[in-house]
A and B are shown apart, each in its own frame.
Chain A
Amino acid sequence: MSDFKITRRDLVASLVGGVTAGLLGSYWSKFEDDTTLFDIELPTSFDREKPPFEVFLALSKLVTVRTSLDIDAAKRMYPIFMDEPWGSQHIVSSYTQILSLIDLPSHTTPPFTSLVRGKLGKGESWFTSHLLTTWYLGIYYHEARPPVRVTYESALMFDSIRGVLPVPLLESTGYGGWTEPPAGSKRYK
């Protein structure tokens, strides 16, 4: 394990390069000033044939750009992803490719985006998108398998609206609480 500290700006830029080069301009512009430290633990030596849970968790954090994720949800996802065709290979290759991109010596020197754009392989690009979808929707989808609910309350899509809109089946407004804008709405337009 090693402590790994980069800024959100750098992490975002790394991921964008592989997955959505076309959107990079607008995407980058919002976070080029974001120097919040992205501080997570990253496993450095592990069995590449059978990557441990810690690698899956670290990859999940990198892909979702979150330093903290629901561990129970991650533990439900890990065997499912490991069990899918090329699952363990994709976990390892995606993880190592992202680390190598983040670790580029010149990553702090603009234009950083040109260094990472398109650097994730095709398989790794698909896999990270697949992982991201699972974390955001809380449902695992794979064309060869039936879908699996891995989490409801920790689905990351709800992070966007917490405190403004109620999470369905979990929160309510109370009677009549819907007649005026929500209390937390002033933060957002």
Chain B
Amino acid sequence: MRTTDISTDVLIIGSGVAGALCAYRLAQKGIKVTILEAGPRVKREEIVSGFRNSPYLDLSAGYPNTPWAPRPDWGTGKDQYIEQIGPEVSAMEYLRVVGGTTWHWSANSIRLLPSDFKMHTTHGVGVDWPIDYDELEKYYTEAEYEMGVAGDDTADTGSPRSKPYPNPPIPPSYSDHTLSKKLESLGISFIARPAARNSRAYDGRGQCQGFGTCSPICPTGAQYSAMVHIQKAEKLGVQLIENTRADRINTDSNGRIISVDYTHADGTRRSATGKIVVVAANGIETPRLLLMSASDGYPHGLANSSGEVGRNFMDHPGLSCRMLSPEPLYVDRGPESIITSFSHRTGVFQQKRAAWTMSLYNRNFFHKTTRNSLIEGVLPPDLDELIRYRSLHEVEFDVHLEQLPKHQNGITLDWSNRDSAGQPVMRFYYSLDNYEHAGLKFARDIFWKISNTLQCTETKISEAYSHHHLMGTARMGDKALTSVVDHECRTHDHKNMFLLGSAVFPTSGTANPTLTIAALSLRAADHIKHQLTVG
């Protein structure tokens, strides 16, 4: 039995956007909250410097990867942290630092569609959520105001709104404007993408300055990160203990959570207690912790009487297309992506084919362009001319594809192998089905039409890749037999444990998950407060 040195009302594991918003909301109501965060605190300027000094180019390269809180690391080649055993590889990236992965997200803050909550009822595929859009709308609005979302009130996103966006839309770039006009003939229309990026000074943060490096890092903090609410929560008295990894959750014989064992970076082992425990890690680390907490009473892990913990993993498979425009477009100025197309986001086709959203990227290609040109054997000063030409003329489109839940997609634990923190290695199975492949094929066809319409050359379409959205592995549902948490995000099996984050999503939709995570977290905070009050 470990010494217990933390006793609180609500013990939250994880300091990403879910944990931060929940902690802040509870602290506003006068509830005592403690957050355990496995990773260290980081400073923005250190991350910027970290990227400039790193030889790796992945989104996580500038962030710490500590032995006591390791994470996937694709920059170095094949990741060793998660063993991929399926036919497809999902090269997921996430951070284990205070503030979590919102350090390197792209701020896309799109609401799910009402039909996304009722996929089975509407299209006969996937499952329904136990809540509908209307129940979450109030919290979507609250989340948008907390995060400072910039959006266009006149644009029809398909998700009805009760209030205007807190901030006006980010203006489109020259390339956005030029290309979107030309693509109208293909029936593809673009709107300003709702984004948690300051289009004006808001909530103590400055206006976006257009560095164009939203992911991996916004150098100014104009883009929202969970640090905003970590700092607010700490001002309200929330205790955040960094470098403290939760190893195991313990129950009593009635299934009540009684403690959480943790290990500090210096090797100190203790335990913490909370009247309510909230696991807000992410779609991988949350199910992992539940599975690692298996005991005689719960041999398959906590909250897992359904056998669904770690299962039903969904990503938003991506597909990108790069091409050279005959006219200069000057991308890589301004935010990473400003406009998006919802033209193929929903429809009766979803009975058979995955929906997707399409974005026009403002992302720089200098390294890839230069490397390809060097491989082609081009030398200076021709090389300089070629890099310049391609940089000014190159454009990239990207689609976010919906993915259906499938039981076999997800993680299991390999207790015979341990990571640097001594925890069992995760084995990850991932595959795409005909539904997703049909969506990818349709996207490829559209890419070629776009290329032809724009009279582009050197058109290259990527293989499918991960958007690092980790969803579905502890899903929400009305029935304890088929789901892990109820409609309030409380586990069916342990009444004083809540799970937050995209792990609880029953279906993926096409919206980037963060705004929905934020809305669900604010909503869960109300339920947690109620449970603490009435018992």
A interface residues with partner B (beta carbon < 8 Å): 8, 12, 15-16, 19-20, 22-23, 26-27, 30-31, 64-66, 129, 132-133, 136-137, 139-140, 146-149, 152-153, 156-161, 164-166, 168-169, 171-182, 185, 188-189
Assuming the contacts A157-B370, A160-B384, asked whether A169 and B211 have C-beta atoms less than 8 A apart, the reply is yes
Given contacts A22-B377, A175-B210, A178-B173, 17 further A-B contacts (CB under 8 A): A137-B371, A140-B55, A149-B54, A149-B55, A157-B369, A157-B370, A165-B332, A166-B211, A168-B211, A168-B332, A168-B364, A173-B334, A175-B208, A177-B333, A179-B334, A182-B333, A185-B392
Q: List chain B residues, Cβ under 8 A from A136.
A: 370, 374, 383
Q: List chain B residues, Cβ under 8 A from A129.
A: 374
Assuming the contacts A147-B55, A189-B328, asked whether A175 and B381 have C-beta atoms less than 8 A apart, the reply is no
0/1 string, B385-412, CB within 8 A of A gives 1? 1011101100000000000000000000
Bound together, the chains give a CA A152 to CA B76 distance in angstroms of 19
Q: List chain B residues, Cβ under 8 A from A19.
A: 377, 379
Query: Quick check: B333 and A173 within 8 Å, CB to CB?
Result: yes
Whether, in the assembled complex, B202 has its beta carbon less than 8 Å from a beta carbon of chain A, the answer is no
Query: Quick check: B177 and A166 within 8 Å, CB to CB?
Result: no
- Which of B20-28, B45-53, B101-109, B133-141 lies at the interface? B45-53
Looking at A12, A158, A165, which has the most chain B CB atoms within 10 Å of its CB?
A165
Bound together, the chains give a CA A52 to CA B98 distance in angstroms of 47
A-B residue pairs in contact (CB < 8 Å), sample of 20: A15-B379, A20-B377, A26-B382, A64-B380, A146-B55, A157-B387, A165-B364, A166-B210, A168-B332, A169-B213, A169-B217, A171-B211, A172-B212, A172-B219, A175-B208, A177-B210, A177-B334, A178-B173, A178-B174, A188-B328
Query: A151 to chain B: closest CB distance in Å?
Result: 9
Whether, in the assembled complex, B207 has its beta carbon less than 8 Å from a beta carbon of chain A, the answer is yes
Pair count A-B, CB < 8 A: 152
The 7 closest A-B pairs by CB, nearest first: A178-B334, A147-B55, A20-B377, A173-B210, A178-B333, A160-B388, A160-B387
Query: B328 to chain A: closest CB distance in Å?
Result: 6
Whether, in the assembled complex, B424 has its beta carbon less than 8 Å from a beta carbon of chain A, the answer is no
Nearest B residue to A65, CB-CB: B380
Query: Quick check: B172 and A152 within 8 Å, CB to CB?
Result: no
Query: A30 to chain B: closest CB distance in Å?
Result: 7
Q: List chain A residues, Cβ under 8 A from B381.
A: 8, 12, 30-31, 65
For A137, give its contact among B173, B330, B334, B370 (CB under 8 Å).
B370
Assuming the contacts A157-B366, A180-B174, asked whether A166 and B212 have C-beta atoms less than 8 A apart, the reply is yes
Query: Quick check: B209 and A175 within 8 Å, CB to CB?
Result: yes
Q: List chain B residues, Cβ under 8 A from A139.
A: 55
Assuming the contacts A160-B384, A161-B387, asked whether A153 and B362 have C-beta atoms less than 8 A apart, the reply is no
Q: List chain A residues, Cβ under 8 A from B332.
A: 165-166, 168
Query: B83 to chain A: closest CB distance in Å?
Result: 22
Whether, in the assembled complex, B56 has its beta carbon less than 8 Å from a beta carbon of chain A, the answer is yes
Q: List chain B residues, Cβ under 8 A from A176.
A: 171, 210
Whether, in the assembled complex, B367 has its beta carbon less than 8 Å from a beta carbon of chain A, the answer is yes
Bound together, the chains give a CA A66 to CA B377 distance in angstroms of 18
Query: Quick check: B391 and A165 within 8 Å, CB to CB?
Result: yes
Bound together, the chains give a CA A65 to CA B333 distance in angstroms of 29
Q: List chain B residues, Cβ under 8 A from A23.
A: 377-379, 382
Query: Quick check: A168 and B213 within 8 Å, CB to CB?
Result: yes
Query: Quick check: B330 and A152 within 8 Å, CB to CB?
Result: no
Query: Quick check: B377 and A169 within 8 Å, CB to CB?
Result: no
Query: B150 to chain A: closest CB distance in Å?
Result: 11
Query: Quick check: A161 and B210 within 8 Å, CB to CB?
Result: no
Bound together, the chains give a CA A22 to CA B377 distance in angstroms of 9
Q: List chain A residues, Cβ under 8 A from B52.
A: 149, 152-153, 169
Bound together, the chains give a CA A129 to CA B371 distance in angstroms of 11
Q: List chain B residues, Cβ under 8 A from A157.
A: 366-367, 369-370, 387
Q: List chain A residues, Cβ under 8 A from B209.
A: 172-175
Q: List chain A residues, Cβ under 8 A from B391.
A: 160-161, 165
Query: Quick check: A174 and B379 within 8 Å, CB to CB?
Result: no
Assuming the contacts A65-B380, A146-B55, A169-B52, asked whether A137 and B367 have C-beta atoms less than 8 A apart, the reply is yes
Bound together, the chains give a CA A159 to CA B338 distance in angstroms of 27
Q: List chain A residues, Cβ under 8 A from B387.
A: 157, 160-161
For A164, give its contact among B48, B330, B371, B382 (CB under 8 Å).
B330
Assuming the contacts A137-B371, A157-B370, A179-B173, asked whether A188 and B210 have C-beta atoms less than 8 A apart, the reply is no
0/1 string, B513-527, CB within 8 A of A gives 1? 000000000000000
Q: List chain A residues, Cβ under 8 A from B362.
A: 178
Within 46-83 of B, Cβ neighbours of A (below 8 Å) are at 48, 51-56, 76
Query: Quick check: B330 and A182 within 8 Å, CB to CB?
Result: yes
Bound together, the chains give a CA A56 to CA B210 distance in angstroms of 38
Q: List chain B residues, Cβ under 8 A from A185.
A: 328, 330, 392
For A132, give its contact among B366, B374, B392 (CB under 8 Å).
B374
Nearest B residue to A178, CB-CB: B334
Nearest B residue to A189, CB-CB: B328
Query: A79 to chain B: closest CB distance in Å?
Result: 16
Query: A25 to chain B: closest CB distance in Å?
Result: 12
0/1 string, B300-328, CB within 8 A of A gives 1? 00000000000000000000000000001
Nearest B residue to A175, CB-CB: B207
Query: Quick check: B53 and A149 within 8 Å, CB to CB?
Result: yes
Assuming the contacts A12-B381, A20-B377, asked whether A169 and B51 have C-beta atoms less than 8 A apart, the reply is yes
Q: List chain A residues, Cβ under 8 A from B385.
A: 30, 160
Looking at B54, B217, B381, which has the most chain A CB atoms within 10 Å of its CB?
B381
Q: List chain A residues, Cβ under 8 A from B219.
A: 169, 172
Query: Quick check: B384 and A172 within 8 Å, CB to CB?
Result: no
Q: List chain B residues, Cβ under 8 A from A166.
A: 210-212, 332-333
For A172, give its contact among B76, B210, B388 (CB under 8 Å).
B210
Query: A58 to chain B: closest CB distance in Å?
Result: 16
Looking at A8, A12, A178, which has the most chain B CB atoms within 10 Å of its CB?
A178
Q: List chain A residues, Cβ under 8 A from B208.
A: 175
Query: Quick check: A174 and B210 within 8 Å, CB to CB?
Result: yes
